[in-house]
């Protein structure tokens, strides 16, 4: 078979390839559902672009102050329409997802206010933003306090604990949709909606922000459809479609987004300034491609879950669960297995495939992190990548793949490296 021979040339043994094909045989119905969601979201994006009359002038570069930037302003209207919100802030000046979240939080919290997380500890890089770990210019340093309510043992919401935690000082609630570096469930849009409704029933008018990173276009609805006052994410994840070279977005109420714009630029300037520097074509085309790109990444996550689960590894979510983000956690049990897995992902990359990933002390994290990412855009986690902190339970977090076929190759290569290292075994008749 020509295809099997090509995989063999790339380093995948016949045994690993055959095992992968046996796993795929049972996933046809799941993949068809993924394609249905992608088709719906593709139509939603096209409708928003048509409504706001996207045209060639929208792709023109601006410099300096960026006054009267028609491409930038139109793109923000498109984003607001796609997410069904009053306003949007979509800027290359937002450097990453953590930056977008920091802008949203600092713009809508004042000294004396309290921030509440009802879903436990936030992602590592937000700990210094909030002040859980000491850092210059944290919210804590500016007089904003923080409280969290941990999830129940089963990964659900502690309703009584959340009710008790909301007080007169509570001004903003942050909900992290995806699991981050934790092996807890990712929340569905429906679950997030139920949590928002409960929070606002306890304290009407309380603002809710959702960290939507890794979740955009996975479902037909977004957190902004179920009551979130702000929904925040990174353009080098799902909505950038692999083409956006930088950037982040904040969508939500006009009041919240306006405050974010003043925080990002300066009081009195807001959204009026901020040149696009010639990257509007990548932002527009990336958004256009995003539903299809996300579908490919989702198929890769489903494939990885089923492939590793059948070999006896714990995976989160499990192979049969509904998907609410593109991240697949695989508990490997040792630093050596994490290295082998990430070596396989890197070896499958179109960029830097010859590099062997090693753990290192990344900024914003409290332990060494290993990261495999041979990406066209540095740090782009909608591209094929895997990473994780070197700490128990020694889980890697696999995500991305601009095409399903690249995601498939990466997963097979990750298993191949584990097999080569004697850390996994694929029998010819593996079930």
| Tens of pLDDT, residues 221-230 | 999 999 999 9
Sign of the dihedral through C-alpha 276, 280, 286, 288: positive
Q: Is the pLDDT of residue 124 over 90?
A: no
Look at residue 430 and tell me if it is in a domain.
Answer: no
Average pLDDT over residues 224-238: 98
In a domain, residue 267? The reply is yes
Residues 95 and 243 in one domain: yes
Q: 52-66, 171-185, 237-251, 326-340: which has the minimum mean pLDDT? A: 171-185
Tally of CA atoms within 13 A in the half-sphere of 157 that contains its CB: 23
pLDDT in tens, 84-97: 999 999 999 999 99
Domain contains 257: yes
- Same domain for 59 and 14: no
Establish if 84 belongs to a structural domain. Answer: yes
- The answer to whether residue 430 scores a pLDDT higher than 50 is no
Q: Do 256 and 395 fall into the same domain? A: no
pLDDT at 402: 97
Kindly calculate the radius of gyration of the chain based on its CA atoms and give it in whole angstroms. 21
Cα(299)–Cα(405) distance, integer angstroms:
9
Q: Do 415 and 333 belong together in one domain?
A: yes
pLDDT exceeding 70 applies to what percent of the chain?
99
Task: Tell which of 264, 287, 310 closes a domain.
Answer: 287
Cβ count within 10 A of residue 360? 11
Predicted pLDDT at 180:
80
Residue ending a domain, among 251, 268, 287, is 287
Query: 267 or 184: whose pLDDT is higher?
Result: 267
Domains of the chain: total = 2
Could you give the CA distance from residue 251 to residue 83 in angstroms, rounded to a whole number?
Answer: 7
* Same domain assignment for residues 281 and 149: yes
The reply to whether 273 and 233 lie within a common domain is yes
Query: Is residue 431 in a domain?
Result: no
Tens of pLDDT, residues 349-390:
999 999 999 999 877 677 899 999 999 999 899 999 999 999
**Is residue 390 situated within a structural domain?**
yes
Same domain, 233 and 353: no
Average pLDDT taken over every residue of the chain: 96
Residue 132 lies in a domain: yes
Average pLDDT over residues 106-120: 98
pLDDT digits (tens, 9 = 90+) for 58-86: 999 999 999 999 999 999 999 999 999 99
**What whole-number percentage of the chain has pLDDT above 90?**
94
Q: What is the CATH number of the domain that holds 102?
A: 3.40.640.10
Mean pLDDT of 110-123: 96
CB-CB contact of 196 with 119 (8 Å): no
* Together in a domain, 195 and 328: no
The answer to whether 227 touches 206, Cβ cutoff 8 Å, is: no
3-state SS track over the chain = CHHHHHHHHHCCCHHHHHHHHHHHCCCHHHHHHHHHHHHHHHHHHHHHHHHCCCCHHHHCCCCCCCCCCHHHHHHHHHHHHHCCCCEEEEECCCCCHHHHHHHHHHHHCCCCCEEEECCCCCCHHHHHHHCCCCCCCCCCCCCCEEEECCCCCCCCCCHHHHHHHCCCCEEEEEEECCCCCCCCCCCCHHHHHHHHHHHHHHCCCCEEEEECCCCCCCCCCCHHHHCCCEEEEECCCHHHCCCCCCCEEEEECHHHHHHHHHHHCCCCCHHHCCCCCCCHHHHHHHHHHHHHHHHHHHHHHHHHHHHHHCCCCEEECCCCCCCCCCCEEEECCCHHHHHHHHHHHHHCCCCCCCCCCCCECCCCCCCCEEEECCCCCCCCCCCCEEEEECCCCCEEEEECCCCHHHHHHHHHHHHHHHHHCCCCCCCCCCC
Are residue 236 and residue 304 in the same domain, yes or no? no
Q: Please say if the pLDDT value at position 335 is more than 80.
A: yes
Residue 181's pLDDT is 79
User: What pLDDT digit, counting tens, does each position of 284-308 carry?
Assistant: 999 999 999 999 999 999 999 999 9
d(C-alpha 259, C-alpha 264), whole Å:
9
Query: Do residues 405 and 350 touch, judged by C-beta distance below 8 A?
Result: no
State phi, psi for 231 to the nearest 5 degrees. Answer: -125, 130
pTM of the model: 0.95
Query: Of 245, 268, 287, which residue sits at a domain end?
Result: 287
Predicted local confidence at residue 194, as pLDDT: 98
415-421: average pLDDT: 98
Higher pLDDT, 430 or 55: 55
Q: How far apart are the first and last CA of the chain?
A: 22
Find the largest Cα–Cα distance for the chain.
Answer: 68
Same domain? For 196 and 68 the reply is yes
Range of the domain at 383: 2-41+291-420
- 132 in the same domain as 22: no
In-domain check, residue 46: no
If asked whether residues 153 and 259 sit together in one domain, one would say yes
Lowest mean pLDDT among 120-134, 136-150, 352-366: 352-366
CATH number, domain of 382, equals 3.90.1150.60
Query: What integer is the mean pLDDT of 404-411?
Result: 98
Beta bridge partners of residue 210, listed in sequence order: 175, 231
What's the angle, vertex CA 147, arms to CA 144 and CA 152, rounded to 5? Answer: 160
> Is pLDDT at 431 greater than 70 in this prediction?
no
Give the number of other Cβ atoms within 10 Å of residue 425's Cβ.
11
Please state the length of the chain.
Answer: 431
Cα(53)–Cα(130) distance, integer angstroms = 40
């Amino acid at each position: 078979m020509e295809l099997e021979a090509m995989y063999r040339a790339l380093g995948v043994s016949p045994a690993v390839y055959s095992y992968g094909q046996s796993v795929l045989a049972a996933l046809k119905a799941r993949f068809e559902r993924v394609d249905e969601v992608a088709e719906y979201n593709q139509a939603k994006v096209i409708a928003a672009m048509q409504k706001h009359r996207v045209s060639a002038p929208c792709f023109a570069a601006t410099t300096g102050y960026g006054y009267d930037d028609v491409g930038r302003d139109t793109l923000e209207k498109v984003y607001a329409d796609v997410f069904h919100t009053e306003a949007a802030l979509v800027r290359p000046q937002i450097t990453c997802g953590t930056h977008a979240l920091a802008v949203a939080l600092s713009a809508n919290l004042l000294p004396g206010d309290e921030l509440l997380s009802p879903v436990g500890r936030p992602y590592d890089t937000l700990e210094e933003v909030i002040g859980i770990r000491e850092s210059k210019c944290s919210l804590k340093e500016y007089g904003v306090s923080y409280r969290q309510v941990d999830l129940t043992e089963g990964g659900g919401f502690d309703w009584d604990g959340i009710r008790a935690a909301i007080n007169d000082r509570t001004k903003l609630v942050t909900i992290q949709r995806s699991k981050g570096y934790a092996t807890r469930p990712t929340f569905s849009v429906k679950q997030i909606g139920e949590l928002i409704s409960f929070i606002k029933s306890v304290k009407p008018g309380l603002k809710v922000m959702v960290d939507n990173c890794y979740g955009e276009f996975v479902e037909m609805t977004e957190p902004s459809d179920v009551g979130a006052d702000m929904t925040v994410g990174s353009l080098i994840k799902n909505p950038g479609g692999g083409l956006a070279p930088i950037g982040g977005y904040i969508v939500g109420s006009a009041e919240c987004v306006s405050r974010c714009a003043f925080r990002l630029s300066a009081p009195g300037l807001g959204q009026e300034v901020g040149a696009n520097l010639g990257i509007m074509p990548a932002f527009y085309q990336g958004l256009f491609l995003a539903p299809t790109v996300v579908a490919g990444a989702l198929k890769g996550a489903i494939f990885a879950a089923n492939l590793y689960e059948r070999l006896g590894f714990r995976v989160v979510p499990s192979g049969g669960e509904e998907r609410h983000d593109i991240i697949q956690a695989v508990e490997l049990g040792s630093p050596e297995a994490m290295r082998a897995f990430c070596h396989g992902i890197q070896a499958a990359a179109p960029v830097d495939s010859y590099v062997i990933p090693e753990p290192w002390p990344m900024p914003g994290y409290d332990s060494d992190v290993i990261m495999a990412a041979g990406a066209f855009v540095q740090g782009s986690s909608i591209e094929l990548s895997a990473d994780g902190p070197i700490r128990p339970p020694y889980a890697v977090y696999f995500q991305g793949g601009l095409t399903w076929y690249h995601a498939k190759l990466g997963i097979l290569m990750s298993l191949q490296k584990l097999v080569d290292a004697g850390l996994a075994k694929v029998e010819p008749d593996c079930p």
